[in-house]
Chains A and B, each alone.
Chain A
Amino acid sequence: MANTLDHKQNFLKGIIKENPVFVMLLGMCPTLGVTSSAFNGLGMGVATLFVLLMSNIVVSLIKSQIPNKVRIPAFIVIIASFVTVVEMVLEAFIPFLYEQLGIFIPLIVVNCLILGRAEAFASKNSLMASIVDALGMGVGFVIALTALGAVREILGNGSLFEFRFVSEDANTLILFILPPGAFIALAYLAIIFNRLTHKVA
């Protein structure tokens, strides 16, 4: 069953049909919390992608060795370890991003997207399929967070990836940088996303 067509579908499913943010509405805490700029969204997306990929790989490799009754604590320890690795590496090598993301890095542990994929997919599927699944879901998450961050940064701060196209004094829609703006922007993006993918499908 592990042919390329399956992998392709498996990969695309995470980006379009089951996009974790716009379709499944998973992982809302970092989605709403850190996407005040496109760079933050991208950084959080990539950090989550890494943790998701590594946890899916490890869970898939040792799935037969984990007794059913303790599978959730086992998954959480695995996920928390990779999150801590990400935290230490970010602090050492990308301190700027580490400061920007702050408390949301340790909170990747409780992102239900990651535990969800470990439980629903990696613990039941082969290594290769789990890697493809993690990449698909992770890329879908990166795209969604970057898009949301970009929209909020453009509307709320008049810039994109720190590149300003209005002056520092200009009145921007600060609402979009603030938490309520995250909900509003996410809602409209989800509507547009579902409208577009609905037509395709």
Chain B
Amino acid sequence: MTLKKKESTLVNMVVALFVITMAAGLSLGFVNDLTLEPKARARLAKKVKALNAVLPQYDNNPVSEVLRFKIEEAKDSIEFYPALKDSVIVGAAVTGASEKGYSGLVKLMVGFELDGSIKNIAVLEQKETPGLGTKMKGEKFLRQFRGKNPATFDLKVKKDGGEVDALAGATISTRAFSEATQQAYDVYKEVNKMEIKSDN
């Protein structure tokens, strides 16, 4: 080593830390700028993928026609994506969330047919136990919701008197999933009512 180590005087310490934090701040700002656009693109791609999975065939752009609703039970606003085919509404996708998962937030995108029956459900966010709660993304679990209308299909786990088959070993995750689905349905119903009224 040729250079001698800087002595720990007050000035030296302040200068060294100032320079390091300054350089760190500047480079992080730079990287943040660089990744801002790809990050937004990644989020959008995820959303479109979920929409394609849950909506009936559509030819509009649901992402640009999104409606947002604030309800008391949910922290984030609920997003409502209408699906149109030849300018006629054919269904909608609604987000629903529950904080009661085994490790917090479970967020879903639920696709509805015009009559209110569930077309399909996509999991947007979850932190459930791998191998147990994460099976909510599996075909076997999701199948039981397809084509069911929450007006007649009680969205509660069988253990709580409803009709949903819980995932083995993950009743809490299933409860959160059902609650989120119910929330999406409630919003869908409300919006549907409003639209019918305004149509008349």
Measured CB to CB, the residues of A under 8 A from B are 36-37, 62-70, 73-74, 77-78, 80-81, 84-85, 88-89, 91-93, 95, 99, 102, 156-157, 168-169, 172, 174, 177-178
Q: Assuming A64-B5, A78-B24, A81-B24, is B129 touching A178 (CB within 8 A)? A: yes
CB-CB contacts below 8 Å: B147-183 with A? 169
- For the complex, is B88 an interface residue (Cβ under 8 Å from A)? no
Instruction: List the B residue with the shortest CB-CB distance to A172.
Output: B131
Measured CB to CB, the residues of B under 8 A from A are 1, 3-9, 12-13, 16-17, 20-21, 24, 27-28, 31-32, 35, 38-39, 41-43, 46, 125, 127, 129-132, 138-140, 169
**What residues on A are CB-neighbors of B127 within 8 Å?**
102
Q: Assuming A66-B16, A177-B129, is B28 touching A81 (CB within 8 A)? A: yes
Interface centre among B7, B8, B31, B127, by most chain A C-beta atoms within 10 angstroms, is B31
**What residues on B are CB-neighbors of A168 within 8 Å?**
138-140
**What residues on B are CB-neighbors of A89 within 8 Å?**
31, 35
Are B8's CB and A88's CB within 8 A?
A: no
**What residues on A are CB-neighbors of B35 within 8 Å?**
88-89, 91-93
**What are the nearest 3 A-B pairs in CB distance?**
A64-B3, A177-B131, A92-B38
Are A67's CB and B7's CB within 8 A?
A: yes
By secondary structure, the B interface counts as helix
- Cα-based distance from A177 to B133 in the complex (angstroms): 12
**What residues on B are CB-neighbors of A157 within 8 Å?**
130-131
Identify 7 residue pairs between A and B in the complex whose beta-carbon atoms are under 8 Å apart, listed by A's number: A64-B3, A67-B8, A69-B13, A84-B28, A84-B31, A88-B31, A91-B39
Q: Assuming A64-B4, A93-B38, A95-B42, is B131 touching A174 (CB within 8 A)? A: yes
**What residues on A are CB-neighbors of B16 within 8 Å?**
65-67, 70, 74
Are A77's CB and B131's CB within 8 A?
A: no
Q: A92-B35, A92-B42, A99-B125 are in contact. List 20 more A-B contacts (CB 8 A).
A: A36-B130, A64-B5, A66-B6, A70-B8, A70-B16, A73-B17, A77-B20, A77-B24, A80-B24, A81-B24, A85-B31, A92-B38, A93-B38, A95-B42, A95-B46, A157-B130, A157-B131, A168-B140, A174-B131, A177-B130
